[in-house]
Amino acid sequence: MSADAPAVPALSRPTVVAWRNAVFAVFAVNGLALATWMSRVPAVRDSLGATTAEMGWIVFAIAVGSIVGLSSAGQVLAWAGSRRTIAGSVGVGALGLAIVGGGAAAAGHGAVVVLGLALLGAGMGMCDVAMNVEGAAAERALGRTVMPLFHAAFSGGTIAGAALGALAEWGGVSTAAHFGAAGVVSGVIVLLSVRFLQLDALGATTASSDEPQPGWRERLGMWGDRGTLLIGLIVLGMAFAEGSANDWLALAMVDGHSVSNSTGAVIYGVFVTAMTAGRILGVFFLDRFGRVPVLRATTALAVLGLLIVIFVPSPAVATVGVVLWGLGASLGFPVGMSAAADDSRTATARVSIVATIGYFAFLVGPPAIGFLGDAVGLLRALILVLVLVAVAGLAAPSAREKRT
């Protein structure tokens, strides 16, 4: 974290630490909620008796909800403040999760599942912006890089959610009971945590700030801001790198490198582990060298890893490429969020824009890779990811720490 980053009014050390820990909890809860749904997708599909194509349309509801939540987050934050936005959005997401579980448990209620997924997506999208704005402010208060660790907490939440989902599946727990319990746990954790968040008290998201906050016209106009869009390019490339691995890496290793299904799953686990490790270790390098050199180095690692995976026929060597890919993709999203939030006055609007661009990659990435994969094979389809990561590396200077 640069010593020249915008200052946050002085708070006691215990207050700042409690604030940081509360943000960790919010990120982890969101990862838990997402993995709760993802871990039981096969069970939901079986309960509804849906075809693959029908499930594609059902799952699209979470994408639509996410866009609504992301696009409205700036206005809601300006009106309600960070604490109420985070608490309310997690509540909406928890309600949506419970509705999905209930609708799936009652066979034939696909419309109910769609409604629940839309609410889950809206809650998570809105909370994504709010928790990144809150996390960036906590990072400034701490005076060191923390945002990658917040995103590592999200990854930890997804690991926990996936493990609990596997246990629920093994134990024959209904989706109604599983999703309802996950929603309650998420809500309780966030309600206990939000009182330690400090952004509202500092007046950085609400009208109580001494500095005039941007109106909706100014927030909309930021979509034309060159610096914000360049940061969005960084996040777009890295979100594509992460999302394509989540959806296609295991299958690409099976089809392209002739490994078994179980080996493909293990290799995907290697990628997730490398990403998590990159986010934990990355804070040291960011504090020591700054954002731009680290982003250039990590995008180079991701490009090298993708080249190995795509063009080297040896599965063992390709697995080394997967490690490099995971390490390289680990920091782009969290660093982009930090860069977008450098100016506390415009942080909410800029984080909302950058997050929306990142979510666009998560939305269009899977079908784009799938479409290309049908035409040229999954490994060759990953060349698109490689190009976007290279573009992200070229845009790295836009994330330079703000100077005073």
Q: Could you report the per-residue pLDDT of 136-165, keeping only the tens digit for each?
A: 889 888 888 898 999 899 888 888 888 888
Q: Is residue 34 part of a domain?
A: yes
Domain boundary among 142, 172, 205: 205
Q: 2's torsion region: left (phi>0), alpha (psi -120 to 50) or beta?
A: beta
pLDDT at residue 57 greater than cutoff 90: no
Put residue 258 in one of left, alpha, beta given phi > 0 → left and psi -120 to 50 → alpha. Answer: left
Same domain, 172 and 234: no
Tokens coding 93: 């997401």
Q: What is the pLDDT of residue 335?
A: 92
The confidence band for 53, taking pLDDT boundaries of 50, 70 and 90, is low
Residue 168 sits in the same domain as residue 258: no
Q: Which two tokens stand for residue 300?
A: 């180079």
Question: Is residue 371 located within the same domain as residue 330?
Answer: yes
- Kindly state whether residues 90 and 196 are assigned to the same domain: yes
Helix axis angle, 291-311 relative to 315-329, nearest 10°?
A: 160
If asked whether residues 197 and 95 sit together in one domain, one would say yes
Q: pLDDT of 11-40, one tens digit each?
A: 888 999 999 999 999 999 998 998 888 778
Q: Please state the domain count of the chain.
A: 2
b/e code 45-77 from CB counts within 10 Å (16+ = b) = bebbebeeeebeebbebbbbbbbbbbbebbebb
Residue 181 shares a structural domain with residue 257: no
pLDDT grade, residue 84 (50/70/90)? very high
- Looking at 140, 172, 205, the residue that finishes a domain is 205
Helix 226-257 crosses helix 315-329 at what angle (to 10 degrees)?
160
Q: Is residue 80 part of a domain?
A: yes
Is the domain of 144 the same as that of 282?
no
Task: Read off the pLDDT band of 170 (50, 70, 90).
Answer: confident
For residues 186 and 60, give the distance between their C-alpha atoms in angstroms, rounded to a whole number: 23
* Domain identity same for 183 and 328: no
The total of other beta-carbon atoms located within 10 Å of residue 141's CB is 23
> Exposed, middle or buried: residue 309 (CB in 10 Å: 0-12, 13-18, 19+)?
buried
Asked if residue 109 and residue 72 are part of one domain, the reply reads yes
171 by Cβ neighbours in 10 Å (0-12 / 13-18 / 19+) ranks as exposed
- The residue among 244, 257, 235 whose CA lies nearest residue 309 is 257
**Do 252 and 195 fall within a single domain?**
no
Q: What is the pLDDT of residue 218?
A: 63
pLDDT for 74: 80
| Res 401 pLDDT > 70 | yes
Q: What angle do CA 103, 105, 107 make, to 5 degrees?
A: 80
Residue 5 falls inside a structural domain: yes
pLDDT for the residue 75: 83
Segment 99-109 shows an average pLDDT of 82
What CA–CA distance (Å, rounded) separates 383 from 364?
Answer: 15
Q: Which residues are CB-contacts of 97 (< 8 A; sequence separation ≥ 6)?
A: 33, 36, 37, 116, 120, 179, 180, 182, 183, 186
- Reported confidence tier of residue 7, pLDDT bands at 50, 70, 90: very low
Residue finishing a domain among 205, 232, 258: 205
Q: Are residues 108 and 257 in the same domain?
A: no
Model confidence at 93, in pLDDT bands (50, 70, 90)?
A: very high
Token output for 22: 């509360």
Structural domain contains residue 213: no
**Residues 194, 335 within the same domain:** no
Six token digits for residue 387: 């190009």
**Over residues 49-57, mean pLDDT:** 74
283: tokens are: 């804070």
Say what the pTM is: 0.78
Helix ranges, 143-260 (H): 147-170, 175-193, 216-221, 226-257
Q: Does residue 118 form part of some domain?
A: yes
Summarize pLDDT for 331-385 with one digit per residue, the tens: 998 999 888 888 777 877 788 788 888 877 777 776 778 778 888 888 998 999 9
Question: Structural domain of residue 327, as residue ranges?
Answer: 219-399
Alpha carbon distance 74, 353 (integer Å): 9
Top-confidence residue, 180 or 250: 180
pLDDT tens by residue, 207-253: 444 455 555 566 666 677 888 999 999 999 998 898 888 777 878 88
Please report, for the domain that includes residue 289, its CATH number.
1.20.1250.20
